[in-house]
Amino acid sequence: MKINRNAMFTAIGILAILIIAMALSLIASSFPDGLEKIAENYGFIDRVVEVLPEGFFLIPDYAFGGVENEYMQTSLAGLFGVLIILAIFALVYLIYKVVGNKKQDKN
């Protein structure tokens, strides 16, 4: 079975991205991001929590529930964050290809 070079290159690239995301997420800052820090400083962080319940977020505070090890939680959050972005990219790409094929069929 012959494997397409582009497919192999893409698969290796995605695997490398996933490994890097899991590793780099371990050194991510534990300090709040800019928007969260402003909300804390100006005292409206509690109102945000009231409007958006904790269950609203996919990966709250970059912690992946159900895993005891804090480092593994953070790595899994990084992994799933990249997987979500890849899924969105794949969806946009597929829509682009379908629209492109329809335009090409009309001509």
Burial degree of 83 (CB within 10 A; 0-12, 13-18, 19+): middle
What value does the mean pLDDT of the chain take? 81
C-alpha span between 38 and 44 (Å, rounded):
9
Q: Is 72 helix (H, G, I), strand (E, B) or coil?
A: helix
Query: Alpha carbon 58 to chain centroid distance?
Result: 10
pLDDT digits (tens, 9 = 90+) for 45-92: 777 666 777 677 777 777 777 788 888 888 888 888 888 999 999 999
Confidence of residue 95 (pLDDT cuts 50, 70, 90): very high
* pTM of the full structure: 0.65
Among the listed residues 22, 24, 28, 20, the one whose alpha carbon sits nearest the alpha carbon of residue 75: 22
Q: Band of the pLDDT at 32, cuts 50, 70, 90?
A: low
